Structures are given as C-alpha cells and as structure tokens.
C-alpha cells in the first residue's frame, strides 16, 4: 500500500507516470535552448522534447491573454506527447504562474528560477538589475520574489524588447545589437548595480557581450543551472528521475527549422538530437501517445 501510494502521488491527475516518459521544455523561440543544455548536462539519461515557438516569437511584447493562448497550444501538444514534467524555459511564460501554464494537464511545471537564492551569494551592495522582456518586467514577479526574501535589496528591472528579435534573427556582432545592449546596460549602470540577472532565457546567447558592457565589477547571473537542479529535485521527489539508459533529445520549432538549428548548434550537440517542425493547431489534446 505504501508503494502504490507513492505511485498515485507522482502526478496530479491520479494517472501513474513512469521514468521513461519525456520531459517537455518550452520557450517562445530559441531562448529555452540555453536551459536545455543545462538540463541535458544534469540529467543525461532523460528524454527531452524541446519546443520553441519560433513562428510566434517574441512573446514578451504580447498581452497576457495572447501569451496564455500560445502557451496552451504548446502544452496541449506536449500533453499529447505524454510528458511527465514541463520546464517553462522562458521567464515570460514562467511569470504567468504554474497553474495557468499547466491548464489542467497532469504534469508538474517547473518555471525559471527568479534569483532570490543566487543573488545573495554574489551581491555586496544589494543593488540588483533584472534584464527581461517588457511583459516579465510589467508583472514585477522577479522583484517581488527577491525583495520578499531580502527586503533590504534594491531591484531595478529593465525591459529589453530589442534583444530577442535580434537574437532570433542571428544578428550577432552587428552594430544594432551592440547599440541595443548599450542602451539597456547604460540604464543598469546608472543605477550602480553590482549584480545583473539574465531573466530572459534568450539573453545567455549574449552573456559575454553583456558582461563586457557592464564591466568587471558586475556579476551577470544566468539562472539556467539552478532551474535544471530544481527540475531534477522535483523528479527525484516524485520518483520519476531516469537513472539509466541513454538520454535522447528531440528539438521542435514551429517554423524555419534551418534557422532554429543554426542557433541551436550554438547551445547543444545537434549530432545527438532529432529535429523537426510541428504545427501546433492540428493537435488533439485528448489523444496521448505512448
């Protein structure tokens, strides 16, 4: 009875999940690949399905209703693919809240870490900058969580709407990208921050450039690894962590596979991945595979 209790508890709908089921990883585009690489490193036996909605990116300048509609399409697809857990590898999605993201599905949702545990290890002045999409900043979610844990910190959020389209369109090293980075880092410098959180999963593509622009006295933090650890912990707790066998990764985009894969090659080993384009509106969420 104790054992069946354990199994019955490992998912929300009362269905029994098993270790071999895949983990879904979602983002509005290629940003979530910066999280996928940490998930792969930390959980080499898992099966991942990465889904980047490159057709509808960026999400960060859309309304909440619009973002929820697009996220529901992705989670319906991944529910049909029978995932055991979902990593929202996107801050703009994470700030919707776990219940909204889950939308009645039975898998656990793991959102991006917001920084309240990482920041105290590095800040000396307690002046923190958050770089994120306009939507993420408008919710104040990161600032609220950080200040709830550390009321003495001053947190400055900066919406950076120019960055995601430039990354998605591979504008690395261009004058426009340099100018956009300068625009946002100048604001953070004017607040004299000593720590910057990359609270959009696209921005680690630009970590070196952001570090160079902020200067050596500032620490730039990417929460991807902490988020991957949160996912592993959650799977362990539910006895769903895969500990044997060779892991696999499937990469799905909603448009332009070639561009997506060029960007993906900067983050993950593509020789070990399968990749294809999926059309999200055709899925029937009532049908599950596997």
> Minimal distance in Å, beta carbon 223 to ligand DGL?
10
**What does residue 171 show for φ and ψ, rounded to 5 degrees?**
-90, 40
- Residues at the site binding ligand DGL, with contacts judged by CB under 6 A: 27-29, 31, 57-60, 90-92, 133, 136, 164, 200-202
Q: Name the maximum alpha-carbon separation found in the chain.
A: 64
Minimum CB distance to ligand DGL, residue 162 (Å) = 11
Q: In whole angstroms, how close is the CB of 217 to ligand DGL at the nearest point?
A: 26
Catalytic residue among 9, 11, 160, 200: 200
Structure token pair of residue 47: 């099966």
Give the shortest CB-218-to-ligand DGL separation in angstroms: 21
Q: Is position 90 annotated as part of the catalytic site?
A: yes
Neighbours of 165 (CB within 10 A): 16
Distance CA 275, CA 286 (A): 24
Minimum CB distance to ligand DGL smaller for 60 or for 115: 60
Rounded to a whole number of angstroms, the minimum distance from the CB of residue 96 to ligand DGL is: 11
Compare residues 22 and 204 and give the one whose CB is closer to ligand DGL: 204
Indicate the length of the chain as a whole number. 290
Closest Cα to residue 208, out of 138, 266, 140?
Answer: 266
CB closer to ligand DGL, 28 vs 249: 28
**Active-site pick, 90, 242, 252, 273:** 90
Count of H-run helices and E-run strands, the chain: 12, 10
Residue nearest to ligand DGL (CB): 60
Name the residue nearer to ligand DGL (CB basis): 20 or 255. 255
User: Catalytic site residue 200?
Assistant: yes
Q: Which is nearer to ligand DGL, 90 or 214 (CB)?
A: 90
β-bridge mates for residue 86, sequence order: 24, 109
- DSSP string for 217-285: TSEEE-THHHHHHHHHHHHHHTT----SS--EEEEEESS-HHHHHHHHTTTS-GGGEEEEE--GGG--T
Residues with catalytic roles: 90, 200
């Amino acid at each position: 009875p104790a054992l069946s209790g354990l199994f019955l508890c490992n998912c929300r709908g009362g269905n029994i999940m098993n270790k071999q089921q895949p983990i879904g990883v979602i983002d509005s585009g290629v940003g979530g690949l910066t999280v996928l690489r940490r998930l792969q490193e930390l959980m080499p036996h898992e099966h991942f399905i990465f889904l980047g909605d490159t057709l509808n990116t960026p999400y960060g300048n859309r309304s909440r209703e619009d973002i929820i509609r697009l996220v529901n399409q992705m989670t319906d697809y991944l529910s049909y693919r029978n995932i055991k857990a979902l990593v929202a590898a996107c801050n703009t999605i994470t700030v919707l809240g776990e219940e909204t993201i889950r939308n009645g599905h039975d898998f656990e949702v793991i959102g991006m870490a917001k920084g309240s545990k990482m920041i105290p290890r590095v800040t000396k002045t307690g002046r923190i900058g958050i770089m994120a999409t306009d939507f993420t900043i408008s919710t104040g979610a990161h600032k609220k969580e950080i200040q709830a844990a550390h009321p003495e910190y001053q947190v400055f959020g900066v919406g950076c709407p120019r960055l995601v389209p430039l990354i998605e369109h591979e504008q690395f090293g261009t004058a426009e990208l340099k100018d956009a980075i300068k625009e946002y880092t100048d604001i953070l410098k004017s607040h004299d921050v000593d720590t910057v959180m990359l609270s959009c999963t696209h921005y680690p593509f630009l970590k070196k450039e952001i570090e160079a622009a902020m200067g050596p006295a500032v620490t730039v933090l990417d929460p991807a690894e902490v988020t991957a650890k949160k996912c592993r912990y959650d799977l362990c707790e539910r006895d769903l962590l895969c500990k044997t066998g060779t892991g696999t990764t499937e990469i799905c985009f909603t448009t332009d596979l070639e561009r997506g894969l060029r960007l993906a090659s900067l983050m993950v080993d593509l020789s070990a991945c399968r990749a294809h384009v999926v059309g999200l509106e055709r899925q029937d969420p009532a049908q599950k595979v596997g």
